[in-house]
């Protein structure tokens, strides 16, 4: 069993402040697979504040650089396909082959497509004597 008792806030893994957890069970056997610590209101505010602070520098990066970061997420997920597929298969009771394709590989493709579309759709466009610029406006949350 794996217990996730830390949250990544502002680039730092910090111990969860809450004693509340969500238990994750194998859908076939009922065996506990793991536990995930809840975030407190304060931890959520810290995470949102960190995201807002990071936005200033993130939004100045070229679209191609931001797309590279998104592709990096896909690459990291791709390195863990089997582990992720097995975990999802156990939790939701899905055959491993389907879990791998639907729950893991399709999201990886979505991350890659998002990166490709960002480069393609958010590039500056010359329109006669004008240029259309796409500018990030903020975080979600």
**pLDDT tens, 50-91?**
999 999 899 899 999 999 999 999 999 999 999 999 999 999
Contact call for residues 134 and 124 (beta carbons, < 8 A): yes
Residue 99 — very low, low, confident or very high, per pLDDT cuts 50/70/90?
very high
What is the reported pLDDT for 135? 81
Please give the model's pTM, rounded to 2 decimal places.
0.80
What is the reported pLDDT for 140? 72
Q: How far apart are CA 111 and CA 48, in angstroms?
A: 22
Where do the domains of the chain lie?
1-58, 61-141
What is the reported pLDDT for 134? 83
Q: Can you tell me whether residue 12 is helix, strand or coil? A: strand
What is the reported pLDDT for 67? 96
The count of other CB atoms within 10 Å of the CB of residue 130 is 8
- Ramachandran category for residue 38: left, alpha or beta (phi over 0 → left; psi -120 to 50 → alpha): beta
């Amino acid at each position: 069993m794996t217990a996730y008792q830390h949250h990544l806030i502002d680039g730092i893994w910090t111990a969860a402040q809450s004693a509340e957890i969500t238990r994750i069970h194998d859908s076939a056997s009922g065996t506990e697979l793991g536990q995930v610590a809840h975030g407190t209101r304060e931890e959520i505010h810290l995470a949102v504040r960190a995201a807002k602070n990071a936005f200033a520098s993130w939004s100045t990066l070229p679209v191609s650089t931001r797309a590279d970061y998104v592709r990096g997420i896909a690459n990291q997920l791709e390195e863990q396909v089997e582990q992720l597929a097995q975990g999802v298969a156990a939790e939701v009771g899905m055959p491993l082959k389907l879990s791998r394709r639907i729950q893991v590989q399709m999201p990886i493709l979505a991350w890659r497509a998002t990166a490709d579309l960002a480069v393609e759709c958010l590039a500056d466009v010359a329109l006669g004597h004008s240029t259309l610029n796409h500018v990030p406006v903020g975080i979600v949350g």
